[in-house]
């Protein structure tokens, strides 16, 4: 009987010792994937067809700074300049600064600017989708200038996917390792 009790005690002590070392150098756990916001900054070019105080085409060159949040919502700004191609004497058209807000595939825009072609300040509203845009300017003391166009702006980039670990763990390549 004593031999059975001693053997049981020895086996139990080994089992306790093995579980005490189970966390050391063992395999970690898989990390989870989370989305993180990012900036999508782009220089773009396009052509717009105008209707209203001027009927004709304008070339557009601009810059967009868009911030996509982890949920896919977007806000940011654009600045663009136009060059009149037809409908008025060729030359500098409008300069606009716009605030944008929306989702990755479509953003609404509001802004201010100046029309050199009509020598008037303007307010602007519009929409930007993948490779297409539309908008309307109100030129003070001149009237309305609507436009539709195409440009090189695609959807805003997706949020980044990043690997994360729970508290008490550190990411090592693609595994979460327990902190000591």
Whether the CB-CB separation of 100 and 90 falls below 8 Å is answered with: no
For residue 60, the model assigns a pLDDT of 98
Q: Is 19 helix (H, G, I), strand (E, B) or coil?
A: helix
Stated pTM of the model: 0.74
Please tell me the CATH code under which domain 34-160 is placed.
2.40.160
Q: How far is residue 111's CA from residue 153's CA, in Å, rounded to a whole number?
A: 18
- In sequence order, the β-bridge partners of residue 91 are 84
Structure tokens at 108: 């609404």
- In sequence order, the β-bridge partners of residue 35 are 161
By CB atoms closer than 10 A (0-12, 13-18, 19+), residue 68 is buried
- Could you read off the pLDDT tens digit of each residue along the chain, which spans 180 residues? 566 655 555 555 555 544 444 444 456 788 887 788 889 999 999 999 999 999 999 999 999 999 999 898 999 999 999 999 999 899 999 999 999 999 999 999 999 999 999 999 999 999 999 999 999 999 999 999 999 999 999 999 888 888 888 888 888 888 888 887
By CB atoms closer than 10 A (0-12, 13-18, 19+), residue 10 is exposed
Provide the 8-state DSSP code for 37: -
Whether the CB-CB separation of 102 and 108 falls below 8 Å is answered with: yes
Q: How far is residue 106's CA from residue 148's CA, in Å, rounded to a whole number?
A: 15
For residue 21, the model assigns a pLDDT of 45
Please, what is the Cα angle at 93 between 106 and 44, to 5 degrees?
40
Q: How far is residue 77's CA from residue 96's CA, in Å, rounded to a whole number?
A: 11
């Amino acid at each position: 009987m004593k031999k059975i009790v001693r053997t049981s005690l020895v086996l139990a002590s080994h089992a306790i010792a093995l579980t005490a070392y189970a966390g050391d150098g063992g395999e970690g756990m898989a990390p989870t994937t989370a989305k993180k916001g990012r900036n999508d900054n782009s220089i773009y070019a396009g052509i717009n067809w105008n209707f209203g105080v001027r009927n004709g085409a304008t070339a557009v060159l601009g810059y967009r700074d868009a911030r996509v949040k982890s949920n896919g919502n977007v806000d940011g700004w654009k600045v663009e300049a136009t060059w009149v191609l037809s409908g008025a004497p060729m030359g500098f058209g409008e300069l606009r600064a716009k605030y944008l807000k929306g989702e990755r595939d479509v953003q609404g825009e509001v802004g201010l600017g100046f029309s050199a072609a009509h020598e008037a300040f303007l307010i602007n509203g519009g929409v930007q989708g993948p490779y297409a845009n539309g908008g309307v300017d109100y030129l003070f003391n001149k009237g309305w200038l609507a436009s539709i166009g195409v440009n090189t702006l695609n959807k805003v980039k997706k949020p980044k996917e990043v690997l994360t670990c729970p508290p008490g763990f550190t990411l090592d390549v693609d595994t979460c390792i327990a902190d000591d």
